[in-house]
Amino acid sequence: MGLTLGNPLGLLALLGLPAVLAVHFLQRRAKREVVSTLFLLTPLHRESESGRRWERLRTSWPLWLQLLAVLVLAWLMAEPRWLEKNSVQRVALVLDGSASMRVSKERLVKYLREDLGGLGRLSGTTEYTVLDSRVGQGRLYHGTELSGVVAAVETWVPAAGTHDPGPALRLARSLSGPDGVVWYVTDHAVETSVAGVQVYAVGESAENCGIAGVTVEETAGRRVWRALLRNYSDRAVERTWRVTDRSGAASVPEKVTIPARGNLAVQGAFPEGSEGLVIAVDADVFPLDDVAPVLRPRPRRLAAVLPEGAGEASWRKLVESLPDFGVTADAGLADLEIVEAGGGAEVAAERPGVVFVKAGETAAPMRGVVLVERHRLTQDLNWQAVAAEAVPGVAMREGDEVLVWIGDRALVLLRGGENRRQLIFNFDPARSNALRQPAMVVTLLRFLEERRGQVPREEISNVDCGQLVDQPLKLGSGDPAVEMTWETIGAGGVVGKVEGRSVAAERAAVLRAPEEPAFFKVRQGGRTVLTAAAAFRDAREADFSKAVTKREVETVREALSDRHSQADGHWRLWVLVLLGLLLGSWLLAGKARRSDQREGGVLGV
C-alpha cells in the first residue's frame, strides 16, 4: 500500500520546527544585583550578559519533545492515507471538438499536466480514456500513461461548429463506470444533460473579429460578392481587408472600423475571367474566420420535358420561374418529365417527374379535414388554405406515399422508387388556388432539390467547413472510390499546396468538406461531382467574450481519495502521543525553572 496525503497543506505545520529552534536559541536576560562583597559567592562560569540574542543552541529534553510534537502535529494535519495496492480509477475526458477550442489548446495541455498528475497519485492504477465530442471520431487515447493523454491532446485538431456533445458524454459515462470521473473539457461555462459529468473549462476571454459570412449575387450582369465582417469585442476595432485571386493577384488593402459588437458589410465584383477568390482580414487569435474562399456558384441545372400542348397549362408559368430549371425538347437529355393526367388515369412511375391532374369539367369543392403527413417535403408547411375542386384524380396504387389528405382524398402523393420518383398533385391546379399558395410552391421546390441531388453532374458551390458532402455518389461496395483534393487557405489568403485522400465508396456517405478554409473537389470514377469553397461561418464559435476557466478539481480529489485509500487508523494514538509530548515538555520546562530559582536563592541573585 502506498502513502498519500489527504490534506497536503497540513505539512505547513512543519514551519513550527524552525520556530521552536528560534525560541531555544534566544537566551534569557540575567538579573543584576548589587552586593557588598564577592568572596562568599561560589565561582560560576561566565554567562551571557546581553540577554535575548542568538547563541549556541543548548539541547534539552523540552527542546526534543517540542520538536517531536511539531512532527506529530504535522502528520495529523496532513491526514495521511494508505492507498489500496490493487485499486483502479477510471478518468474519461470528452474534448469539446468545437473550433473555438483551438485558442485554448496550449492552456489545456498545461492544466491537464497539473491536475491529472495529482489525480493519478490517488489510486494504484489510473485508466485514462480521451474522446472527441464530435460523433464518429472514436477514441483518441486509452491507457494508463499521462504522457499518452498529453500526446493525444497535442495532436488533436478541434474544428467543428456548435454541436451536441451528449452522445460522446453518455459513451464516456458508460466507459468510466459508476465510480469513474468524466470531464467535459470545453472553454465556456456550460451545463450538460448527462448525470455525473463535470465541466472542466479552460477558456479565456479574448477579442476577435472575422468574416461571418459571404454571399454571391448576380447584379446588372455581374457576379458580386458580399462579406460580413463581425466584431465580437466590446470596443470598436480597426481591421484591414483585402481580396486575393486564386492566381495570387491581390487587391489594394482597405482599412475599416467595425463598431463594438457590430457588423460591417464589404463587397466587390469577381474579376473578369476569375472563378474564385479569397477574402482576408488581419490575423488575430482565431485564424479560421480571418479568411473566406469563395467561388462563382453554378448549381446543377435541371432540364424537364413537357407534355404536348402544355403551352397553355396553368402550371407552365410556375415551372418556368423555378430557379436553375429549364425545358428541353430532347427526352434523352431531360432529368425529369412533367405529366398531365386525365381524371382517373393510370400513371406509371417509369421515370422521375411531376404529375398534374387535368380535368374536363368543373366539380364541387373538396370537403374534409386537411391532414399533412410528417415528411421532409411538407414539413412546417400550411396546406389548410389550399382550395380545390373534387375532380376525378389519379388512380391510387399500392405503395403510394400520401403527403396531404383532404378528408379521405389523397391531395398530394409520392410514387415510385428513388431514381424514378414522381410527385403527384392529385387535383387540377387550374381549378384551385394552389398555384398562389406557398405550400405547393415549396413542396415542388423541395422535390426538385431532391432530384437535383441525384443528377450526376458537376456542381460549383460555397459550403461551410465540415459540412456533409451531399452529392449523387455511388455508394456500393463495388463502386469506385471517392477522391477528395483540397487547397488550404493560409494567413492573408495565401492558397496552399494541393493535398488529397481517397475514401471507399461504401464510406463516402459521411464524407465532409475540409474542416479548415479551403478550395476542394470531389471526384468518383474520373468524374468531378463537386467543386466547392469551404469557409468557416459559425459566429457562435468565433465569440470568446464569455470564455472562462473553471477547474474544480479539489472535489474530485477528495472523492477519489476516500474511494481508493484508507485513513490512518492510529490517529487516536497519535493524538495521545501529541498530548503526552506537550505535557512532558511542560513538566520538564517547569522543573528546569524551579531548579534555576533554587540556584538563584543560594547565590542571592
pLDDT in tens, 338-383: 988 876 667 776 789 999 998 878 889 898 999 999 999 999 999 9
535-554 pLDDT, tens digit per residue, is: 998 989 999 999 999 988 77
pTM score of the predicted model: 0.69
Residue type, 214: V
376-412 pLDDT, tens digit per residue, is: 999 999 999 999 998 888 888 888 999 999 998 999 9
pLDDT score, position 575: 80
Of 20-29, 231-240, 492-501, 523-532, least confident by mean pLDDT is: 20-29
211 or 76, which is more confident? 211
Identify whether the C-beta of residue 404 lies closer than 8 Å to the C-beta of residue 371: yes
Mean pLDDT of 232-243: 93
Query: What would be the CATH architecture of the domain defined by 88-205+546-564?
Result: 3-Layer(aba) Sandwich (3.40)
**Per-position DSSP letters for 283-343, written without gaps between them:** --S-GGGSEEEEE--BPPPEEEEPPTTGGG-TTHHHHHTSTTEEE-S-GGG-SEEEEEEET
| C-alpha distances out from residue 100 to 33, 205, 208, 413, 433, Å | 82, 11, 11, 45, 50
- CATH number attached to the domain at 302-452: 3.40.50
The gap between the terminal CA atoms of the chain, to the nearest Å, is: 60
pLDDT band at 523 (very low <50, low <70, confident <90, very high): very high
Domain map of the chain by residue range? 3-79+568-603, 88-205+546-564, 302-452, 459-535
pLDDT band at 492 (very low <50, low <70, confident <90, very high): confident
Domains 88-205+546-564 and 302-452 share a fold: yes
Residue 9 CB contacts under 8 Å (≥ 6 apart), including other chains? none
Does the pLDDT value for residue 50 go beyond 50? no
Does the pLDDT value for residue 152 go beyond 50? yes
Identify whether the C-beta of residue 304 lies closer than 8 Å to the C-beta of residue 334: yes
